[in-house]
Amino acid sequence: MKLIALLFLFNLQVTASVYSQRISLTATNTPLREVLQTVRKQSGYSFFVESDNLRDSKPVNLSLMENSVPEALDKIFENQPFTYTIENNVIVVTRKLRTNLSAADFLTFDNGGPDSTKVVYVQGSVRDDKGQPLVGVSIRIKGGGTGTVTKADGTYSLKTNAAATLVFSYIGYLSREIKASQGEVDVVLKQLNTALDQVQVIAYGTTTKRFSTGNIATVSAEVIERQPVSNPLLALQGRVPGMFIQQMTGNSAGNVIINIQGINSLAQGTSPFFVIDGVPFPPVNSDPTMMSGAISGNGGSTLTYINPSDIESITVLKDADATSIYGSRAANGAILITTKKGKPGNTRVDVDLQTSWGKIPRQIKMLNSQEYIALRKEAKKNDNAAITVADFDINGDWDTTRYTNWQKELVGGTSHLTNMQAGLSGGTDRTQFLIKGGYLKETTVYPGDQSATKENVHISLNHRSSNQKFSFNFSGTYLQDDNKMINTDLMINALLLVPPLSPPLYNNDGSLNWGYSNRLNTYTFSNPLGPVLLSYQGNTNNTIANADISYRLLEGLELNTSLGYNKIQNTEILLTPQSAFTPRIVANLRSSSIANKTTASWIIEPKIKYKKDFNSNRLEILIGSTFQQNKNDGTLVRGRGFTNDAQIVNIANAPIISAIPYQILYRYEGVFGRINMNTKDKYIITLAGRRDGSSRFGSANRYMNFYSAAGSWIFSEEPLIKNSFPALSIGKIRLSYGTAGNDQIPDYAYLSLYQNIQTDIQYQSSIGMSPTGHSNPYLQWELTKKLNLGMDIGFLNNQILFTGNIYINRSSNQLLNYPLSIITGFQGVNKNLDATIENKGIELQLETTPIRRKNFSWNLSTNISFNKNKLIKFTDLDKSTFSQTYVIGQPTNISKVYPYIDVSPQTGLYEYRSADGKLTSSPNYLKDRTMLIDINPKYFGSISSTITFKGFTIDLLFQFVKKMALTNRLQLGLLGSMRAYPAVVEDRWHKPGDIATYQKASILDPNAYTAYNSMYYSSGAYEDASYISLRNLSISYAIPQSALKKLKLNSVRLFVQGQNIFTISSYFGISPESSSIYVLPPLRMISTGIHLNL
């Protein structure tokens, strides 16, 4: 926090002058339109001119030499009936406003009515359909005459005759004609469908979908804010073709798996490259903690430490044209997160208040107590076993009339989330600022006082001096997370471990009940709330700061440097008292753990940018270099052997203390360049290259080169096509090819490493050391080659817009840990394998606007992605230790399994087909796994719809996935154990001749054990986990401006949102997405809130 405060105070001192682009030209009786085209090419500014506005223009005669843009325009329009304003690099040309009007002046607008000579004074404001003021809107009198533009706050004023019609026009919005009248005339403009011309952030720059040569997708803040999620990645689910996102747990800080265009590596580095405001960010699946408190379920996600409301847009880069300039860091794609910036205009205050509730989406029907007892006794009978003293549930110790719905007790609560955000923003054309702050608190569905709070601050300061030469942009984000969640997921207890007739959770005095038996003088119950007594506290601070400095040295030549810093610091304390365990356990399990982990990185990227317009060409050249360092260090200290629970609060009381320190330093450097040539806005070529160096490789192979080439042809601009197909708005073909790399292996893998031996036995107070890995100084880079063919076609002013991509990606020289024989003393060695993975697929997206009316619009969008993953090469696979894992010509995510047949009607055991075609309940692991199961998604996509009626907006998204997954039936164990069972086990084998789904109840029969164990490696272990889910639903209402005037508010929006509303699937389990009953599923969230703009 101190760092951001200091940087912000420093940036407030920025007083450097800003210098504009310089204009040089000579004109002799030159039409004004041609002069303005020359200014556009030299300045890079866009012009907004009404199509008929230049009909009264005069020829231009002047000579300019190195004039600033405002100076040049002043001279150009000096003797013209026009004036101009500059708003956000857009020059708006309008007719000059005459202030000394008489009644005679208005006779030229005579419409024949009685008011044709009556002068009226009109004033008001112009806003978009969300209530935001629009700056630079052109307001003219229909038929000619006076005109003006709106100010920074969206207001305007002018004089005209009462019979006149005012025409309001703005780039990207539908024009409106309104009858002039005395007094206030407030106007709302509707936005056009301008998806092709929206700015897209790319590596080291920006582009638009119209002129992009790469496969890029962008999700805006508007879409992100419609979803009640604390991890911004979850707002992208189903919205980006080719990107598959899987939420692994309902814990908000839990892991999120993300793959772009398939999995390229056998083992290492499958996560995309994340960049936040130019600063590299740790991979999404890198657990920011050391003890994973409350992140139960496959680790944690670093993106949970980014506030979604601070995000302006998220851009996904997929093909080589978009990613190769990032080199070795973006072989799996790149995700660029751009935070919000201040905008010119009056100072505004934005306030967001939101509250949410969450529940598990469904419950599984379980056996009741009597059905459970029958199952237990049936297993005893089948095993010919007597009821023992340890069978507390059926030997009379437990009350057999009790029944507890453990799903309701342990995970059936309601989570609550409160989110408050407020921001102050504004500025001039040269300086803009934004200051935001927020507070979020959330609880879980678990019992007890489990909560996490987050406080966040976001700052942005942008400054450009008056002559546009120098610019300085700063952004800083700080988030503090205080996590006091339980460090154990109770889902497994609710569904698997606790029988339905177990004793109550609490004694009469409120203490945990461990089921003490007077008859046996022992404790009979492992209370599932024992983990609640563990005291966990995790504190995480995330700081991101970026400064971007630019100076225009010469015409079109700009020097730029980007400086970035990121630090994630985590401190955890876990206290484990003996009281958290059943008292019958005599072993001393008391412990105290303290962990500190810091991940800090800095990056410096100096760049040179050059732009030049000549003839009908626009040339852009970028040259730059990267210097980056990541430092990870931490210590985990554990204390054991405490004599009582009171001692664990101070680790110094522990008789045995062990420490695990570590420090990792990763350095990276590179040089890069890109050339983009646009000819006639029809033919576009992009060439990019990079040379990277990584400290993860030895000196022999430390550097690697990467490149890409791409081109696009906007064939709709060809005269023949343009004239023959007037309904065609855009037609473009894209082609790209290039390479990217992967160095995502453990640091120092080319060296011999040692670690402390973690044991309670020490020698003279010293801990021994042991080798952890074999050195390999000859490690090389993984290499990915990408080919992408794309097409964009739009019709009817892009009311119908289709985007398609076909890609083939091949990754070779695979990096992974190769297992070694135990006699070597090492488990494995990192090495390159002569193996190649191919991912090829199709991405299709259709965006339409079936209805677009004044007060009603309907946008409909759908996308679908198909990806085929295949191992196409693996030299000497049959001789390697991976021969039982991979098959050439098959996906890398396959499982080799026994063909499962059914439950044998004669024996009541699971049966499989062996390699020789016979039925068996004890197949051979090496010989009989003849069937292949692919668990990669076959296809996935979504259908989204947005309906706007006056102030109401309804937005929904259905996501669908076709895939296989491990069945949860495997987690049930042998039928008849002292545990919970779902009601489906009623369909089990009871006697010879039965046709059943589950084998007989038995826990002692070795044949039943073998048959059950074999199920893990059979086709019966997998089931269809396809689903269609109403992922998101948002309903909002913008209160009309007429109702807000008395309250002096600019805009108010009320909303109700839902996430994971319902899911349709045949999958056995609570969630086909997480596909596990061991972890909490993604929660169904309902949220309400209000947005205020003051």
DSSP single-letter state for residue 783: E
**Structure confidence at residue 15 (pLDDT):** 28
138 close to 150: Cβ distance less than 8 angstroms: no
Domain 20-96 CATH class label: alpha beta
Residue 91: which pLDDT band, with cuts at 50, 70 and 90? confident
pLDDT of residue 102 exceeding 60, the answer is no
**Structure confidence at residue 805 (pLDDT):** 98
> Which CATH number fits the domain 195-341, given the four candidates 3.40.50.300, 2.170.130.10, 3.60.21.10, 1.10.579.10?
2.170.130.10
**Structure confidence at residue 55 (pLDDT):** 67
By CB atoms closer than 10 A (0-12, 13-18, 19+), residue 339 is: buried
Average pLDDT (777-789) is 93
Question: What is the C-alpha to C-alpha distance for residues 423 and 189, in angstroms, rounded to an integer?
Answer: 25
pLDDT of residue 192 exceeding 80, the answer is no
DSSP three-state, residue 81:
coil
**Structure confidence at residue 103 (pLDDT):** 34
Tell me the chain's radius of gyration from C-alpha atoms.
34
Residue 517: which pLDDT band, with cuts at 50, 70 and 90? confident
Question: What is the C-alpha to C-alpha distance for residues 478 and 457, in angstroms, rounded to an integer?
Answer: 5
pLDDT of residue 110 exceeding 70, the answer is no
pLDDT, tens digit (0-9, with 9 covering 90-100), for 323-365: 999 988 899 999 999 999 998 778 899 999 999 999 999 999 9
For the CA atoms of 918, 922, 926, 930, the dihedral, rounded to the nearest 10 degrees, stands at 40
**Structure confidence at residue 742 (pLDDT):** 86
Question: Which two structure tokens, joined as six digits, stand for 424?
Answer: 């102050």
Kindly report the average pLDDT of the chain as a whole number.
87
Of the candidates 700, 677, 699, the residue with the CA atom closest to the CA atom of residue 688: 677
The backbone region for 433, taken as left when phi is positive above 0, alpha when psi lies in -120 to 50, beta otherwise, is beta
**Residues 6 or more apart from 785 whose CB is under 8 A from it?**
320, 737, 738, 739, 809, 810, 811, 812
pLDDT of residue 683 exceeding 70, the answer is yes
Question: What is the C-alpha to C-alpha distance for residues 301 and 289, in angstroms, rounded to an integer?
Answer: 9
pLDDT of residue 860 exceeding 70, the answer is yes
- What is the CATH T-level fold of the domain 114-192, as seen in this structure? Immunoglobulin-like (2.60.40)
Residues in the chain: 1094
Question: What is the C-alpha to C-alpha distance for residues 47 and 894, in angstroms, rounded to an integer?
Answer: 56
**Structure confidence at residue 449 (pLDDT):** 84
Q: Which stretches of 200-287 are DSSP H helices?
A: 221-224
pLDDT, tens digit (0-9, with 9 covering 90-100), for 150-171: 877 788 888 887 778 888 887 6
Q: For residue 299, give Cα distances in angstroms to 248, 287, 302, 1091.
A: 9, 5, 10, 34
- Give the up-direction half-sphere exposure of residue 969: CA atoms within 13 A in the CB hemisphere: 24
Question: What is the C-alpha to C-alpha distance for residues 308 and 62, in angstroms, rounded to an integer?
Answer: 52
Average pLDDT (858-887) is 94
pLDDT, tens digit (0-9, with 9 covering 90-100), for 458-499: 999 999 888 878 999 999 999 999 998 887 888 888 888 899
pLDDT, tens digit (0-9, with 9 covering 90-100), for 1010-1035: 999 999 999 999 999 999 999 999 99
pLDDT of residue 387 exceeding 70, the answer is yes
Per-residue buried b or exposed e for 869-889, using 16+ beta carbons within 10 Å of the residue's own CB:
bbbebbeebeebebeeebbee
Question: What is the C-alpha to C-alpha distance for residues 647 and 658, in angstroms, rounded to an integer?
Answer: 17
pLDDT of residue 764 exceeding 90, the answer is no
Average pLDDT (593-618) is 93
DSSP three-state, residue 892:
coil
Question: Considering the chain, what percentage of its residues have pLDDT values greater than 70?
Answer: 91
247 close to 256: Cβ distance less than 8 angstroms: yes
Q: Count the Cβ atoms, other than its own, within 10 Å of residue 477.
A: 25
Domain positions in the chain are 20-96, 114-192, 195-341
pLDDT, tens digit (0-9, with 9 covering 90-100), for 242-273: 999 999 888 887 888 899 999 999 876 788 99
**Structure confidence at residue 42 (pLDDT):** 81
